[in-house]
Structures are given as C-alpha cells and as structure tokens.
Chain A
Amino acid sequence: MSSRNERKSYYEELRHSGYSRRDFMKFCATVAAYLGLEASGVSQIAKALQDKPRIPVIWLHFQECTCCSESFIRSSHPIVADILLDKLSLDYTETLMAASGHQAEKCMRDTMEKYKGEYVLCIEGSVPTEADGVYCMIGGRTSMDILKEAASGAKAVIAWGSCASNGCVQSAKPNPTGATPIHKIIKGVPLIKVPGCPPIGEVMAGVLVHIITFGTLPELDGIGRPKAFYSKRVHDTCYRRPFYDAGLFVETFDDENAKKGYCLYKVGCKGPTTYNACGVTKWNGGTSYPIQSGHGCFGCSEENYWDAGALYARAQPFPGFGIESDADKIGTAAAIATGVGIAAHAVMTNLRKSKLIDDVIEEGKEAEKEL
C-alpha cells in the first residue's frame, strides 16, 4: 500500500525488480519501434518512464475469456508484463490481484477516490444489458454499474479486445445477454479501442506506453483504433501478397497450392477486409501469425465478424435466403427467373400483339413492293 502512495516511477520500480538500465533502454527502443516513433522517441519514452510517477490502472473483466490479458503477459519483451501489469500498475484486476473479496473492492474504491481523473480504466469484455445486466455480476453489482462508476473518474478508457470494442462472440446473433461494447455505454470520456481476439500483446503495450509517455491517447482512426496499428489491412502487409496479385490461390487446405504457400483468399481469408498489425508485428515474439501457419485470417479484429459470414469462404450467405445462399447463387437464380419471364413475355407478345406486329410488317412490305 505504501509504495502506491509514494507513486514511484516505472524506472525506479524496474530497477528495484532487478532489471538493468540496459534492459530498460532495450524495452524503450522496442516500444518506440512498435509505435512507429522516430529515433528521438526512444529518449522521450525513457524520460517519461524515469520521471513520471506511474499511472494508476484499473483493469476490469466483464463478459470475456481473459485472452487479452493472456496475450498481454506474453508480449515479446518481459518488461511489458512486469512493468505494466504484474508489479506496478494494476491497482485492481480480478485475474491477477492478490487481494480478494472486500479487500479487493476496497483497493478499487481507494484508487478511484485517490486518483480521480488520473487513472486509466482498462476494460476487457462487453457489458450485458438484458435482464438489468444480471448476466455479469461482480461483488454483487452488475458490470454496467461498475463500469459507469469507474469510467466517471477515469482519465481515459481503453477497450481491450473485440469484446469491449465491438461485442465479439457474445454479441453475435441472437445475443441473448444483450452484450454491448464499451463505447456504446460510456460517453464523454476519451476512449480507445484495441480490437482483436485477442489484440497483439505488443500493440497493447504500445498503447499503454504511449499514454504514459505523452499523457494523451495515440492518434485514432475514424473507428477509434490507434492508427499506428490499425491503419493497414492484414492483406496489405501480407507476405503472401505476391501470390494474390499473380492469381495463385489455395483451393482447398490440403491441396498442392497450400503446400506451396499460395494466397489463402479463396479459402476465406479475411485479410483484405481486416485492419490489424498481424502481418508486421506477428505473434509470440514475432514467431508467426495465422496466415503464416497456413490458416486464413478470421478478421477477429473486425466488428461483427461472427455474423459477417462464413469464416472459411469468400462468398457470404445472405440473411433471409438460407445459409447456403451467397450473392452469386441468388443472382444466378434471379437471372434464370428473368430469362424465363422474358421468354414468356416474348411468346405473349407474339400472341397478343400479333395484329400490331402484322400491320407494321404489312406496311413495310407494301412500301417495299412500291419501290
């Protein structure tokens, strides 16, 4: 409790945990690179982490699977987990805190009162709105209640993952719990969406370090995602892109083309419609990412990706036409129906308009004879 009151800087806490200055600088350089900062950005980050007292963080878990936390603590640089999550920042998080019950709730309350307007509120998961929110209760309160209270005094809200950003699987049809993403509930507090199921650990660390270093949210796109990580589509940074442009596609997952590493477009890869940094940052310390392991992109960071259509097909079914109907099947059926209609109309024309047609032909023939 005392260490929190003194609010040491991140650097002090790190040295205390046994990291060398060299480790620390490596971390700063790594994060600066992920954030896309210029060389001077490294020293800015280092200075901020040395001088500024740590930012208090409340990290809440609602309707979610904790994969965001898992991703975060597996970020490639060990300091990420240590500095931002494990030892320092977290005043309250259900998954990792030592305290429980009333003690834990008190921790959160203390932070909220003491650092009103200063703490960063991180949310993992969506909030149920059906049945007065009873589908997600913590400490006897609904998640909606907790969220609203916690957000009211927050400096900024970070919506971790697809659940908090756009509802993910629990808001897929028919959405029985009324799962709702954070931005639809919280208004008037700066909010940043970091979608993905889960988001990349380095991306999460990058966002937090940016807030610590510059005291502001990183630059956001129209949807509210940090531009540094979500401005490019997975497709645009894909190492299989040359196969796409050459028109060389995997037809089935077990064919020769799959072995050759051709483009996964035709087996439903959502890379062309997915905005994320997977192709550049990759996962597990740069080891791989879905496409590299031969599996198309799901588009897990895109809104409504569970309902947007089949995960392993390009053509998507249309609501109301059955699950097997894609645009081409509907279109082909309509074209056939049109053809039949036209044929019927042509026959009808020759029957019902025969007098008119005969007259025109007769008139033309008469004129021709007169020539």
Chain B
Amino acid sequence: MAATTHLLRRVFVWELPVRVYHWVNALSITILCITGYLIGKPPAFMFSGEAWERYWFGWIRYIHFATAYIFVFNFIFRLYWGFVGNKYANWKNFIPTNKKFWAEIWQVLKIDILQIKSGGHMSVGHNALAGFIYFFTFLAFVVQVITGFGLYEAMSDNWFAKLFAWVPVLAGNDMLLRNIHHLFMWFFILFTIIHVYLVFYHDYVEGRGEISSMGGGWKFIEEEEFHHHQKEEQKESKK
C-alpha cells in the first residue's frame, strides 16, 4: 500500500533565547539534582588522611549554590521572554485563559495519553497539556528557589540571598524547608523522565522533528495542517 505523500512546511518555532534557556535549565537542573542528592545523602568514603587535605563536600555544595544562581536568573529571563518572545514562547501557552485551552488539554489526553482516539494532534508549539504542566514546573521552580535560598540566606551576605531572609522566619524551623526542598527534587526527576519519554513519543509517532526542534528551532508540519492553522489564526485575529 502506498502511503499518502505529505509535503512538509518548515516552521520556526523556538527562538534562540528559548532554546538557550531550555538547555541551560536542563543542565542546571541536572547538576542541582545530583549535587542536591549528594548533599542530602553524602556517600561514605574511607579516608586515612587529615580533614584539611580535602574539600569535596565543600565543592559539591559550592557547585550547588553557584548553579542555583544560574538557574534562578535563567528562569527570570524566561519569564521576561514570555512577554516579549514569539507566540510560541508567550505566557498564554502555560496558563489556561480560555475554553479552547481546556478543550485542547482534553484532546491531548484522549489522543496521546489514554489513546482512546486516533490521529495525531495538531499543536505547533507546546500542546495545551504540556504547556499547563510546564506551568506547574514553574511553580516548582519557585518553591525550590524560595526554600533553597531560604536555607542559603543565613550563610550569605549576597543581596539576592538576603531577599529571602523572611523564609526561615515564616517556616519557623529550617528542617521543614530542607524537607520540602528535598521532596521537590523528586518532582524534577519524575518530570525529566516523563518529559524525555514524551518527546521521543511525539517524534516517533508524528515524525515532525520534535526532538531536533530544541536544537535548531524548526518543526515540520504537513501542508494541510499548515493551512488549517492559518485559518485558525485568521479566525482568532478577527475576534
């Protein structure tokens, strides 16, 4: 059987700042999770020398704190880009502001997750469900930044760290902050597992360059899908 041949249109979806943000974020979260886990559960080493001869735990903590700064300013930059970037980077991709958003979430659930409906879905940028889940990751970022810098604040004179001086006061006991901070690390680990899997899934099922899009910024969509989106956009702008 000969399959229908599709002409694909190349669409520039992810601008360079979005791509840079994505990989800085991915790398810093990876580093933060690894160093964070080690800080919570340092491995046991046998060592016969003197304490002054090494500083590995100090370095692990140093890397964790330095990466935290990169992570938080990278995140702040992304929030800014949500207002000035292209339509795929806009903040409206992450927060359900209309009925259409909810309808699309349900659509994605039926097609991709529960698979009770066939067909490929048609989002060009983030699909609505992905966008909404990224919104929760942003909330998790905020929780980690608040609890993390709240714990860090007491040992730093840095102005940014001092902005979080209210956190330990509010929590009462630093141990609580530590527990929350530790538990949320697992949110990132779970998110990463699912995120990477779903990117492979979309690439595999749809063949539209999902994986490579975060490299060059391009996605490829079928000619008829392209025209469909064009019409949708026109309808939107008429409203």
> What residues of chain A have their CB less than 8 Å away from a CB belonging to chain B?
166, 221-223, 232-233, 236, 242-249, 251, 265-266, 270, 272-275, 299, 302-305, 308-309, 314-316, 318, 327-328, 330-331, 334-335, 338-339, 342, 345-346, 348-349, 352-353, 355-357, 359-360, 362-364, 366-367
Give chain B nearest CB distance to A340 CB in angstroms. Answer: 11
What are 13 pairs between A and B in contact, CB < 8 Å? A247-B45, A248-B51, A302-B173, A304-B173, A304-B176, A314-B40, A331-B189, A334-B186, A349-B204, A356-B119, A360-B207, A362-B1, A366-B5
Binds A, one of B53-61, B88-96, B132-140, B210-218: B53-61
Supposing A316-B179, A327-B182, A360-B207 touch, asked if A353 and B53 sit within 8 A by C-beta, the answer is: no
For A304, list chain B residues within 8 Å (CB): 172-173, 176
Closest to A364 in B: B207
Supposing A327-B182, A342-B197, A352-B115 touch, asked if A316 and B175 sit within 8 A by C-beta, the answer is: yes
Whole-angstrom distance between the alpha carbons of A346 and B198 in the complex? 10
Give chain A nearest CB distance to B171 CB in angstroms. Answer: 8
Contact with A along B149-188 (1 / 0, CB 8 A): 0010011000000000110110011111111001101100
Supposing A236-B155, A242-B52 touch, asked if A251 and B44 sit within 8 A by C-beta, the answer is: yes
Closest to B196 in A: A342
For B154, list chain A residues within 8 Å (CB): 232-233, 236, 275
Partner of A363, one of B3, B174, B186: B3
Give chain B nearest CB distance to A49 CB in angstroms. Answer: 34
For A236, list chain B residues within 8 Å (CB): 154-155
Contact with A along B49-88 (1 / 0, CB 8 A): 0011111111010000000000000000000000000000
Report yes or no: A222 in contact with B45, Cβ–Cβ below 8 A. no
Asked if B4 is an interface residue, CB under 8 A from chain A, the answer is: yes
Asked if B106 is an interface residue, CB under 8 A from chain A, the answer is: no
Give chain B nearest CB distance to A303 CB in angstroms. Answer: 4
Known pairs A308-B176, A327-B40, A335-B190. 7 more at Cβ < 8 A? Answer: A236-B154, A246-B58, A275-B154, A314-B40, A330-B183, A353-B205, A364-B207
Report yes or no: B169 in contact with A243, Cβ–Cβ below 8 A. no
Partner of B182, one of A233, A266, A315, A342: A315
Report yes or no: A245 in contact with B173, Cβ–Cβ below 8 A. no
For A346, list chain B residues within 8 Å (CB): 197, 201
Report yes or no: A299 in contact with B57, Cβ–Cβ below 8 A. no
User: Could you say which of A327, A339, A349, A357 has the most chain B C-beta atoms within 10 Å of its C-beta?
Assistant: A327
Whole-angstrom distance between the alpha carbons of A249 and B46 in the complex? 10
Give chain A nearest CB distance to B178 CB in angstroms. Answer: 6
For A251, list chain B residues within 8 Å (CB): 44
Asked if B15 is an interface residue, CB under 8 A from chain A, the answer is: no
Give chain B nearest CB distance to A57 CB in angstroms. Answer: 28
Report yes or no: A328 in contact with B41, Cβ–Cβ below 8 A. yes
For B6, list chain A residues within 8 Å (CB): 363
For A360, list chain B residues within 8 Å (CB): 3, 205-207
For A223, list chain B residues within 8 Å (CB): 168-169, 172
For A272, list chain B residues within 8 Å (CB): 174
Give chain B nearest CB distance to A228 CB in angstroms. Answer: 15
Report yes or no: A245 in contact with B186, Cβ–Cβ below 8 A. no
Supposing A247-B54, A308-B176, A335-B193 touch, asked if A366 and B186 sit within 8 A by C-beta, the answer is: no
For A266, list chain B residues within 8 Å (CB): 42, 44
Give chain A nearest CB distance to B122 CB in angstroms. Answer: 13
For B97, list chain A residues within 8 Å (CB): none
Closest to A166 in B: B172
Report yes or no: B44 in contact with A249, Cβ–Cβ below 8 A. yes
Report yes or no: A244 in contact with B175, Cβ–Cβ below 8 A. no
Partner of A314, one of B37, B41, B115, B185: B41
Give chain B nearest CB distance to A313 CB in angstroms. Answer: 11
Report yes or no: B40 in contact with A318, Cβ–Cβ below 8 A. no
Report yes or no: A303 in contact with B189, Cβ–Cβ below 8 A. no
Supposing A273-B174, A316-B179, A367-B5 touch, asked if A339 and B118 sit within 8 A by C-beta, the answer is: no
For A249, list chain B residues within 8 Å (CB): 42, 44
For A357, list chain B residues within 8 Å (CB): 204-205
For B166, list chain A residues within 8 Å (CB): 222
Report yes or no: B201 in contact with A349, Cβ–Cβ below 8 A. yes
